[in-house]
Amino acid sequence: MRSSPEVEWPVTRGGAAPSLFHARNFFFYFLLCAIWIFDGPAVAFAQGDSAPVPAPGSPPPSEGKQNSAELVSRDEPTTFKVNVKLVVVRAVVRDSEGHAVGNLRKEDFLVFDKGKLQAIAQFEVEQPGALTAKASQKSDQDSVPGSFGDTSGDTGSLPDVPERFVAYLFDDVHLEFGDLAQVRNAAERHFATLRPTDRAAIFTTSGLGNLDYTDDHAQLHEALLRLQPRPIAGGFGHDCPDISYYQADLIINKNDRQALQVALQEAASCQPPIPGALPPDPAPIVNGSSMRALSSGDHESRIALGRLKDVVRNISRMPGQRSVVVVSPGFIAPKMEYEYIEIIDHAVRSQVVISALDARGLYVILPFGEITQSPLRPPPAAKTLVRTAAASAQADLLAVLADGTGGVFFHNNNDFDEGFRRVAETPEYSYVLAFTPQNLKLDGSFHSLKVTLKSPQKLSLQARRGYYAPKNIANPEEQAKQEIEDATFSQEELHNLPVNLRTQFFKASDEDAKLIVLAHVDVRRLRFRKVEGRNDNTLTCVSALFSRNGNFLQGTEKIVTLHLKDETLEHKLASGLTLKTSFDVKPGSYLVRLVVRDAEGQLMSAENGTVVIR
């Protein structure tokens, strides 16, 4: 190593204390890096080393130490200016034939928050594409000196890295056997149509029989065979009176007199009359049955929503196009609006589309109840009305989830083959609208949203229907970390900073290799802030490694503080700065994700790369 005679770069050996960066139950260790400068202008940071930072109150450093402070790596979190009040809305516009429209502009949309027109601060047209599959092999094809057994940079042919991830959530808590059998057979045929760059996962609301993302059709087949109804609370279909979760909600939560009267009449008919005795009061029976039905229904709905929330969080960490397909007969979720709107909010921000398939198909409510009910207790006409309303209400939540995230709700149709085809597809175009609410109060209140077009022109629009105001201001540092983390697990390539990605690998043996990720930054094109004659900025660089099925394997984050003299910026770093991260890996196919963010410009770049180590 040789250093410039005008700038001395002291290096302290030794590991730095790691901090945690949570992702899919793994942790990013914030490893510091050593700073080296060569006669050439590139600067490389080696994983695991750090440069010292002068302690507060220390005596003025010598000229050499002043020079060393031009480039410093540290483990302190970088603070970005984040607008925590920004509300993001995803909208899908379709023509009369159901095709997504992608030629609209910001001026074509109107967004209302509680009936008040909002100014659209950010607008973007999204078109899912093969961004991950297009990741080039940014690898050095030349041999790199080292002590490894094989220093070849040849990465082989481009692998079939995952481009699209689809999570199929089967609601086995609410599904009945007949409905499940039909959708399971259709799902089997649907999985046969998956492309080599697709990865599918099977999850259940009961949490049993899950299968992680894979392209192995045999594993998908076995997971489908394991599906079966798993009601948690047990059925009440043969109880008398037969009070459903929906009817119990009307009686207990909404004080609906008609629903109560229907239950009282049915309860009275359940007890055969005793000669010479007064008929028993049906009110206690109805109250007890209603409370049991409400409690068990609440429990199942919360479990189903909790599993959906987990699936959305899970898929938001996958590096590709993301969709969730909910296969369910539908269910109601009274007093759980905050929970499912929070799911919609997280899905929209993470570019996750939720679609739903109503497993009941084209269903009909029989006038005298279901066949499974006892013929001794045929319900009156009013009971049929309650059951019809319940069946309709079960579909409402599925529709809200699909509308709010730009997905498709397939219902009232027995063609499940066509249903799976539609719900597994994501819209060809979608619009992301963001606004800052006027005079937003941090009270956790619900805000109704309405998105319309100035000139509908026989177009239909779907968008989320509301959001909850925050109860407090989020920590800007945590918001910044979340923004970087979201970009790390996204498929999108961003080029807002002058950053290029390259990879190299060295094979120590047939079983072990070291993968090198190089991030080259054109420092002179960054935005700097002048402080005491120096050029200040801070770079946060995350390098992440994913398997061929998109599972996160390893990741590091480097925070580099720049405090450069004009001379250093113009001459010593004229060709840029190179940040280096290494991973110990086994032979195989990998997806590399690089994200770089600067503090002054608050800009971000993100690139994908693929590597095959044979």
- Residue 543 token pair: 């390098």
Q: Do 37 and 572 meet the contact criterion of CB atoms below 8 Å apart?
A: yes
Q: Please provide residue 437's backbone torsions phi and psi, each rounded to the nearest 5 degrees.
A: -60, 140
Range list of β-strands (E), 215-267: none
**Geometric angle at alpha carbon 52, from 50 and 55, rounded to 5°:** 145
- Residue 69 token pair: 């402070």
Long-range pairs for 185-192: beta carbons < 8 A, 24 or more residues apart: 185/416, 186/416, 186/417, 186/419, 186/420, 187/224, 187/327, 187/420, 188/221, 188/224, 189/417, 189/420, 190/417, 190/420, 190/421, 190/424, 191/217, 191/220, 191/221, 191/224, 192/217
- Residue 545 token pair: 């490694």
Q: Please provide residue 187's backbone torsions phi and psi, each rounded to the nearest 5 degrees.
A: -65, -35
Q: Which residues contact 447 (CB under 8 A, 6 or more apart)?
A: 113, 114, 437, 466, 467, 468, 469
Indicate the pairing of strand 164-170 with strand 321-328: parallel
Q: Please provide residue 561's backbone torsions phi and psi, each rounded to the nearest 5 degrees.
A: -100, 125
CA distances 355 to 26, 166, 307, 328, 470, Å, are 28, 10, 15, 11, 26
Indicate the pairing of strand 460-463 with strand 494-495: unpaired
Find, among 233, 232, 211, the residue nearest to 220 by Cα. Answer: 211
- Label residue 592 exposed, middle or buried (CB < 10 Å: 0-12, 13-18, 19+): buried
- Reported residue count of the chain is 614
Q: Do 51 and 71 meet the contact criterion of CB atoms below 8 Å apart?
A: yes
| Structure confidence at residue 536 (pLDDT) | 93
CA distances 8 to 2, 35, 60, 486, Å, are 10, 11, 16, 37
Q: Is the pTM of this model over 0.75?
A: no
- Residue 517 token pair: 């990720």
| Structure confidence at residue 137 (pLDDT) | 42
d(CA 139, CA 153): 7
d(CA 267, CA 289): 10
CA distances 52 to 64, 155, 405, 452, Å, are 13, 37, 47, 56
d(CA 204, CA 217): 18
d(CA 595, CA 488): 6
How many other CB atoms are there within 10 angstroms of residue 86's CB atom? 13
pLDDT mean for each 10 residues of the chain (614 residues) = 29 31 34 31 36 38 50 47 67 90 95 95 77 44 36 46 90 96 96 93 96 95 96 66 93 93 87 73 90 95 97 91 95 94 91 95 64 48 87 94 93 96 89 88 89 91 89 70 81 85 90 92 91 91 90 90 90 86 91 91 88 88
d(CA 199, CA 212): 9
Q: What domains are defined for the chain?
A: 20-81+475-613 (2.60.40.150), 85-125+437-472 (no CATH), 171-208+240-272+283-424 (no CATH)
**Dihedral of CA 296/300/306/310: which sign?**
positive
Q: Do 158 and 466 meet the contact criterion of CB atoms below 8 Å apart?
A: no
Cα 296 to the center of its chain, rounded Å: 29
In what side-by-side order are the strands of the sheet with 577-585?
499-507, 513-521, 577-585
Using DSSP, state whether 114 is helix, strand or coil. Answer: coil
| Structure confidence at residue 314 (pLDDT) | 93
| Structure confidence at residue 184 (pLDDT) | 96
Using DSSP, state whether 461 is helix, strand or coil. Answer: strand
d(CA 46, CA 517): 11
Burial 295-330 (b: 16+ CB within 10 A, else e): ebbbebbebbbebbbebbebbbbbbbbbbbbbbbbb
